[in-house]
Structure 1
């Protein structure tokens, strides 16, 4: 059987639980009808017992028993079909939820480190979505659908006899009170469990990324002790929450059995006083047990419900804090200028600016080197220039248009960026150079490799451009990773190319290839920005920016500035600003 998928055409950042339920209203109505039929069919066992004890046994009629058994068997088969159908619908609702919001959850994972200080588990939004989907696809929602039918069963118990109905009602109130108490006692602990799990996972992921450092410097045991401490804290909190949920779940089971026995006792008393038949004893007991089954199931899955509710709340908070990018009017490719207007930069999650009032302008064919001592704001400035970090004040403009007038996808086609910490992705060399385009241009990819001087090196790999490089480019050396990342930055001839310490892992041959690549960008009318500690990286540029303490100290022609720096008493900018970290 096929079901019409809900309409999730609205943008995810405007969606909330009510809009999701509204989109699924047709399916939810169908679930309500299925639940109604199921709860009526749940009376099959009680009615069968009632008929057997009150009609078949007194009359000794085998044909009647066979007829009732056949009817009941058919009803049970239909009940099983509806129960399976309801479960499959809930699974598909979970899939629809994931399909509607998974891209948004990934977007948060990818963008959150650029807007806030990294802390905890960076994959928490994806895990939260998995938690919500897992709950919707399980047995928890079935209990919520069945809970409104408890009065229906209690009403039938009252029809059997007021005392039977009163006994079942008292049991129901006790179990409902247990449910509310379970919610109160587990809510905070479940939140703590999620936070501690995120911290534990973040520590484990950091250890995996830095396995070489841990091994070489003998730090694995110390980090293992920290991880064990975080794990013990997580397990203790989880144990506390599980003890509460499990304890109340066990109590609910016992109370359900106590209630069933109590109804049998009350029924026996009524039979003795000839106020009820023997069939009512069994039927009333089964019916009372069925009335409390949704409450017991809800308590058993209460922990999952609380976790899913908290996960959904965190997702909503992330969506509010990091809205999806709006559609931007397409702009023509930049080709005229790069202007940095009094830009101040504050790192994500920080309060103090690390770059203050930086200004400069570049024309096509120009290349600028940015030099200065460590922590002078060089990398922070270029992060703002390429749009990785949002400027706290000021604007970065390409052909007069501020970066925020471009969508990230559109802007990325015109920018080549080689970060200080090179990261490649699991895949082939070709996929990394072509930026994982679905339909990459092979000619443009090879042209970028040639421009970066890595074409011959790639051909020497086992499978050439189709060589898998492993997670993070583990199959390559640091120099090879840096040169392939340079080719990625040059793919499709972007107008602006920003290179942050591009020769930190290069040998003399790599330095020469880098210089040629910079000259190639300038020759075709592009703009190049190079952050450098080693003067060899400046060979291909014609302009120079000297930074100190987060400010642009000097901006002008490279040769003239270098000549002033090497002269005695040349001014306030010492020689070490340029040569710090340089090779011999």
Structure 2
């Protein structure tokens, strides 16, 4: 089976635009026709002044007007067509890139969490799409026709051409200045906007703690400082763009008047006809209109260009996976071969030389003090992190030999921080599989002994849990997360602090679920602080400061490394004995 999503290229922009080459050629041809048809107004005025008025011929005027109406209709049609083509190109880019963007949002958080703070792939894609759908590209397609209009002005008269050329040079200089002066403010505004959004999202996620501890006013001041910095840079960029835009408009109007003045001087000296005055004025205005439009859209052009560079850099942070053949489902053994774990974008290891193997039907409890590396071990076992050294093998094969979707069917995972997604209970248990079978969902719920709890809810399995499962209690979320980890009987099930929010009934259900995994020939790994989570396991691994201190049968290891915590009969305290250190 080929993993289709893994065949996507990191840089797909060239591929998308190459696939749209025919559309771009069509836009170029339409732009050529549109710009030729833009001559209609100036030629019509010249004919009216030079032919109709002297001859006083109403039939000639009617015929010219009919021709102009037809030409203007085609001009509008072709202009609309190229606009629609640009929108379709933007849609095609979105369809091609958006799956990779969604994967980047998830992948960056896992593989490059520090870089993910500054990445905004979805907004970058929206910025590119918005620019392609707007007037900016139209102006860029019209700009190459500027020499054509200038040449016609020269054909009317040398001095008309010189005047139009001088105006074009000044406007070109304004365009260059717009690029140079507005680039930095737009970049700074984008940085402050990203930071401002991250601060607001962080405050939203932690609203309860912020409210109780009175952090609101302090965080608000920090957010306001960042917001003011954003608005300041945004204002600078807007002021620069609007200032140059207004200046170019004034210059264009002044140039039109200049063309009229030069044309009048030529008519007075009998070097041109009156029609050339009006035609030259209209033509020069049309010649410089794309420059004016380009300056007005330059801010969007810079933003889109920066978004493209940023998005390409973001996608390049995610390694491109090759197509992989599916392997048989693992059913015999998990081997951990002296793995060392280094979290993404850090240099210090959190696990060193961890080695053990588990056969089918085994339950392993992982114990250790806070910061000993237990959750890091869980993350590396499920494939969120890659080992810096060593290897993890399922029936002899490393996890990366499976396609990602296939591997997910063989591994169940219940993280320490329980997150349910906005949807129904059934959808959450089935991991939002579109073709999930009701029997599989119910079987997972029964394995977690949460079926009765679910059907007691007003809407049963169709109960909407809300964002982050806000409609459920912490214990209910934890038991539903356990059912999700057991969905479709994965071979390897890893449970990180699975009983942190459970009552006695929930702990009994957890014990039964672990035993059920072992009885069907799976492997259960339980990371625990409380001894009740270890009832159903037969082996224990002890970690301390990222190093393996002991591994073996449960009773043997616990007798060496644990003692009862004073004053708390429900908790066990890890102690490192000389004998354990040698184990």
Which structure has more RCO (C-alpha within 8 Å, separation ≥ 6)? Answer: 2
Alignment of 1:87-486 (within 5 A): 87-118=83-114, 124-486=120-482
Distance 2:501 2:175 in 1: 61
Secondary structure in 1 matching 2:214: coil
Residue equivalent to 2:32: 36
Aligned residues of 1:12 and 1:101 also touching (Cα < 8 A): no
Contact 1:113–1:348, Cα closer than 8 Å, also in 2: no
Residue in structure 1 matched with residue 568 of structure 2 by the alignment:
none
Question: Are positions 1:80 and 2:76 aligned together?
Answer: yes
Tell me how far apart the structure 1 counterparts of residues 458 and 211 of structure 2 sit (CA, whole Å): 29
Shift of 1:12: 3.6
Answer whether contact 2:341 2:351 (CA < 8 A) is retained: yes
Q: What is the DSSP-based 3-state SS (H/G/I as helix, E as strand, rest coil) of the residue aligned with 1:499?
A: strand
Q: What are the superposed Cα offsets for residues 31-85 of structure 1, whole Å, 9 maximum, x if unpaired?
A: 1111011001100110111011111111111111111111111111111111111
| Offset from partner CA, 1:279-318 (integer Å, 9 cap, x none) | 1111101100100011111111111111111111112112
Between the two proteins, the alignment pairs up a number of residues equal to: 567
SS of alignment partner, residue 114 of structure 1? helix
Answer with 17-26 or 494-503: which moved more. Answer: 17-26
Q: Secondary structure at the match of 1:261?
A: helix
The TM-score normalised by the length of structure 1 is 0.94
- When residues 11 and 311 of structure 1 are mapped into structure 2, their CA distance, relative to the original with a 3 A threshold, is farther
Aligned-pair Cα RMSD in Å: 1.8
Is the 1:565–1:575 contact (alpha carbons within 8 Å) kept by the matching residues of 2? no
* Runs of 4+ residues deviating >6 angstroms: none
List runs of 5+ in structure 1 lacking aligned partners.
1-7, 569-573, 580-584
Measured after TM superposition, the shift of residue 14 of structure 1 is: 5.1
**Cα distance in 2 between the residues matched to 1:478 and 1:332:** 37
- 2:10 & 2:572 partners in 1: Cα distance? 55
Residue 582 of structure 1 is matched in structure 2 by none
Q: Does 1:506 align with 2:499?
A: no
CA displacement at 1:15 relative to structure 2: 4.1
Indicate if the aligned counterparts of 1:546 and 1:555 stay in contact, CA closer than 8 A. yes
Measure the CA separation in 2 of the matches of 1:118 and 1:488: 29
> Larger deviation: 58-67 or 147-156?
58-67
Please report the TM-score for the alignment, with normalisation by the length of structure 2: 0.95
Query: Does structure 2 retain, via aligned residues, the 8 Å contact 1:117–1:350?
Result: no
Post-superposition offset of 1:564:
2.9
Long gaps (5+) in structure 2: 565-570, 577-583
| Per-residue CA distance 1:80-99 (angstroms, 9 max, x = gap) | 11111111111111000000
Structure 1 stretch displaced more, 292-301 or 214-223: 214-223
> What is the match of residue 564 of structure 1?
560
Change in Cα spacing, 1:466 to 1:123, as seen in structure 2 (3 Å) is farther
**Separation in 2 of the partners of 1:126 and 1:323?**
19
TM-aligned CA deviation for residue 363 of structure 1: 0.4
User: Which of 17, 42, 45 in structure 2 is aligned with 1:46?
Assistant: 42
- Does the C-alpha gap of structure 1 residues 180 and 11 become closer, same or farther in structure 2, counting only changes over 3 Å? farther
- Paired with 2:27 and 2:331, the residues of 1 have a C-alpha distance of 58
The CA deviation at 1:11 is: 4.7
| Inter-CA distance 523–578: structure 2 relative to 1 (3 Å threshold) | farther
Helix, strand or coil: the match of 1:134?
helix
Q: Structure 1 residues 121 and 278 mapped into 2: Cα distance closer, same or farther (>3 Å)? A: farther
Q: Residue 419 of structure 1 contacts residue 500 of structure 1 at CA under 8 Å; is this kept in 2?
A: yes
Distance in 2 of aligned mates of 1:552 and 1:321: 32
8 A contact 1:120–1:195 mirrored in 2? no
State the Cα distance separating 1:214 from its structure 2 match: 2.1
Deviation at 1:20, TM superposition (A): 2.9
**Cα distance in 1 for residues equivalent to 2:116 and 2:559:** 49
CA distance in 2, matches of 1:45, 1:26: 30
2-structure distance, mates of 1:119, 1:338: 32
CA distance in 2: counterparts of 1:430 and 1:98, whole angstroms: 31
Report the Cα distance in structure 2 between the residues aligned to 1:418 and 1:150, rounded to whole angstroms: 64
Classify 1:276/1:11 alpha carbon distance in 2 versus 1 (closer, same or farther; 3 Å).
farther
Q: Note the alpha carbon deviations across 1:399-423, whole angstroms, 9 max, x for none.
A: 0001121222111100000001111
For residues 520-535 of structure 1, the aligned pairs below 5 Å read 520-535=516-531
